Amino acid sequence: MEYKLIDVVSNSSSETKKIGFNFAQLLNKNDYVAINGDLGSGKTVLLSGIVDYFITDAIVTSPTYSILNYYSNDKNTIYHIDAYRLSSYEDLLSCGVSDCDEGIFLIEWAENISDFFLKKNYYEIDLSYVSKNKRKIVIKKIKNEQ
Ligand SMILES: Nc1ncnc2c1ncn2[C@@H]1O[C@H](COP(=O)(O)OP(=O)(O)OP(=O)(O)O)[C@@H](O)[C@H]1O
Ligand SMILES: [Mg+2]
């Protein structure tokens, strides 16, 4: 089952960040957020808004080379995975994801590891380029578990 939660056009990167911040209020520990969209569509910008809701002043950078990054304080841990260079669940496991403690998982290029999401409930965010400063953003909740 899919439930569409948000379908908007953002007019700036700060608006995209704010959309991420507001969406973050729905999230709980052990939730997964699959973030898809072309290069430069704003995945990291939106993700930085989500992180900002939980961890003020975190510096969010794209972990393209490290694949797995995390931000934490005494209440929350947010994992940031960039699956750009991955192609399966198995690849993800080899990055040490099964050693992660409880937290919220934000995954850029999630479509590259779609087998990871097959039996999960998760949120899916799709960003697409409209024009230089505009991005279409669709957020859905996907339920695969009974
Ligand atoms: N409405 C908008 N929302 C988000 N980003 C925007 C918007 N308008 C312009 N931008 C610009 O687009 C770029 C988005 O970069 P970002 O790193 O978030 O993309 P990405 O999808 O994470 O790319 P990658 O696939 O390389 O990880 C930034 O330079 C940002 O300033
Ligand atoms: Mg990015």
Q: How far is the CA of 55 from the centre of ligand 1 (A)?
A: 21
**Would you say the CB of residue 22 lies under 6 angstroms from ligand 1?**
no
**Would you say the CB of residue 40 lies under 6 angstroms from ligand 1?**
yes
Q: Is the pLDDT of residue 63 over 70?
A: no
Q: Is the pLDDT of residue 83 over 90?
A: yes
Q: How far is the CA of 106 from the centre of ligand 2 (A)?
A: 11
CB 3 within 8 A of CB 91: no
| CA 33 – CA 58 distance, rounded (Å) | 18
Strands (E), the chain: 2-10, 32-36, 68-72, 77-82, 104-108, 122-131, 134-142
Which ligand has the minimum distance to the alpha carbon of residue 128? 1
Query: Residue range 104-129: average pLDDT?
Result: 96
Confidence of residue 130 (pLDDT cuts 50, 70, 90): very high
Q: Is the pLDDT of residue 82 over 70?
A: yes
Amino acid 64: pLDDT: 59
Q: What is the pLDDT of residues 28-42, one digit of tens each?
A: 999 999 999 999 999
The percent of residues in the chain predicted with pLDDT above 70, rounded, is 98
Show the domains of the chain with their CATH numbers.
2-142 (3.40.50.300)
Amino acid 120: pLDDT: 94
Q: Which residues, in sequence order, are CB contacts of 48 under 8 Å at separation 6+?
A: 17, 20, 58, 60
